[in-house]
Amino acid sequence: MMIEEFLDYLRYERNRSPLTVKNYGDDLRAFYVFFKSLDDHLSWQSVDADIVRDWMESMMDKGNNATSVNRRLSALRSFYRFALSRHLVDRDPAHNIEGPKTNKPLPQFLKESEMNRLLDDMEWGNSFNNVRARTIIIVFYETGIRLSELIGLDDVSIDMETCEIKVTGKGDKQRVVPFGSEMLSALKDYVAVRDSSVIRNCEAFFVTDKGTRMRPDTVRAEVSRCLSAVSTLKKKSPHVLRHTFATAMLNNGAGIESVRKLLGHESASTTEIYTHTTFEQLKRVYEEAHPRA
């Protein structure tokens, strides 16, 4: 049988894992059963693109997600490429068929109430590490900058007179991001504690207690520890605070083009995922508030 010949090829010529071989076999047998159920006279040679599309549709109707359907379509494409190379068939009905689009997961973010609880209600203390941690949280939340951008900040990057920071983003592209009075106060407090507690050996704005520029894993750990106090999100990273910034801005009336520029996105399409997030929020509010929803 052609399926077994293909699976032997995967095992012995491609050295694919037993699990991969099993999955390919299951997928191909499922397709074989499907097209035979349509017409017992059909064969691997006579199957056409419409039948492949019908198979995909039937899988979606049964509740299979796009990732699962695409994986099975990929197995079918591999099978037909093999069959064509061995002259077992003379056409590939799966060649030009596009699989279903996978929905990108919506970005995770903290609620405004959670951020307010973290920044307003939590006891932070006056030690260097605690003041630094709170300042890092505020900078991420009020500017939406990336982890690498925060670590790259030097003292000269921050203008406390104009309340602006100069950020070096992807591709060494620079942008200027404004900030408000709360962040200004936090920055001044941090600088005062830092300069009285640490002897710096670099120009970095955020430093370790040894005066060196902070490392990414240190910032990640600090952010995760802080967010764990108010959030049950599985992911508690600096990027979650970037998502939180963007979502908060859009929820409070900022235009998508303004948010794009603040985030340093090249295209507005990258920023649009946050509009889906805010729409999901609107749907939840509607369902909870409307008496006939």
Q: Which two tokens stand for residue 107?
A: 């970005």
Q: What end-to-end distance do the CA atoms of the chain give, in Å?
A: 55
Known catalytic membership, residue 242: yes
List the catalytic residue out of 53, 117, 220, 239: 239
* 261 included as an active-site residue: no
Rounded Cα distance between 81 and 219, Å, is 48
User: Which residue of the set 80, 141, 190, 274 is catalytic?
Assistant: 274
How far apart CA 55 and CA 53 sit, in angstroms, is: 5
Do residues 109 and 243 make contact, with C-beta atoms less than 8 angstroms apart? Answer: yes
Residue 274 appears among annotated catalytic residues: yes
Distance CA 293, CA 284 (A): 10
DSSP 61-124: HTT--HHHHHHHHHHHHHHHHHHHHTTS-S--TTTTPPPPPPPPPPPP---HHHHHIIIIIS--
Nearest alpha-carbon partner for 244 in 102, 106, 105: 106
Whether 117 is catalytic is no
Q: Which of 170, 215, 283, 284 is catalytic?
A: 170
**Of the listed 72, 146, 243, 260, which one is catalytic?**
146
Query: Which two three-digit tokens encode residue 289?
Result: 């508030």
Query: 3-state class of 281 per DSSP?
Result: helix
Q: Assess contact for 128 and 198: CB atoms under 8 A.
A: yes
Measured from the Cβ of residue 280, the count of other Cβ atoms closer than 10 Å reads: 11
Would you say 68 and 238 are in contact if contact means Cβ atoms under 8 Å apart? no
95 is an active site residue = no
Question: Among 177, 13, 2, which residue's Cα sits nearest to residue 89?
Answer: 2
Q: Which of these is catalytic: 72, 132, 213, 242?
A: 242
Contact 43, 35 (CB under 8 A): no
Q: Is 239 a catalytic residue?
A: yes
| Catalytically active residues, by annotation | 146, 170, 239, 242, 265, 274
